[in-house]
Amino acid sequence: MFPDFRLERVELSGATLRVRHGGSGPPVLLLHGHPRTHTTWHRVAPLLAGQHTVVCPDLRGFGQSSQPHDTPDHAGSSKRAKARDCVELMTHLGFDQFAIVGHDRGAYTAFRAALDHPGVITKLAVLDAVPIAEALQRCDARFAAAWWHWFFFGQPEKPERAILADPDAWYGNMPGKAAQMGAENYADYRAAIHDPAVVHGMVEDYRAGLGIDREHDEADQRAGRQVRCPTLVLWSLEDDLEDLYGDVLAVWKPWAADLCGHGIDSGHHMAEEAPDELAAALLAFLHGG
């Protein structure tokens, strides 16, 4: 995986992140979702690295990065805290400005980074997500049935016990999944979901989402804040964003003045299932198309 990329651990003020980076050119930071690690990008990152410096970290609480300290408000797992990690990481690597791409839970951190650090983020791409505030404000029986895990993961202790009773069964590790994901990526992901500390960190990300992250989004919503940089929204046509929201771009329109996007012919994990189409869309966006 990741030919000619460097793998290291970077100690920041609030976290220590496992990071893989390589390539050359304008920097782009790729953020994974749940329950993946940075290795989910192993098919996309090399396609970008010929024209960009590509940085792929494990988010704090995920993979082999450090775990936040637990607090009643889950602030250590907030997207604001993770966005600060991103800015500090890229500064450490020598980049004062950069483009950011986030999938699934990583999309919320990328979005928060663009809102909180408008002078730093040059372009934003969000994959398979709408803002947390929008999702919760629009929540109905269909959303609750499809995304029930948001509310289950918000409960204390029980989610970790349920997942760790049989992580492979919980996450549907059926025959053929290793081939679909790539053997090394699959091994990295399985190590994460079998680690009790990582499972707790991943669930804490959802607990923060239902509370402090929603508060941050709604404060920006009331103030009329928008993402200032060009924004690309991509969604998986085999997933359920269109079923839940119809016009996905219409949900994003109040949040970003310079907005474009379209569906990708893929299931939810598009970086693994449709890497060529995803990389082409990202390169066109990053180069102004």
Q: Is 125 exposed, middle or buried (0-12, 13-18, 19+ CB in 10 A)?
A: buried
Residue 92 bears catalytic tag? no
Catalytic choice (85, 104, 128, 217): 104
Residue 116 bears catalytic tag? no
Catalytic residues: 104, 268
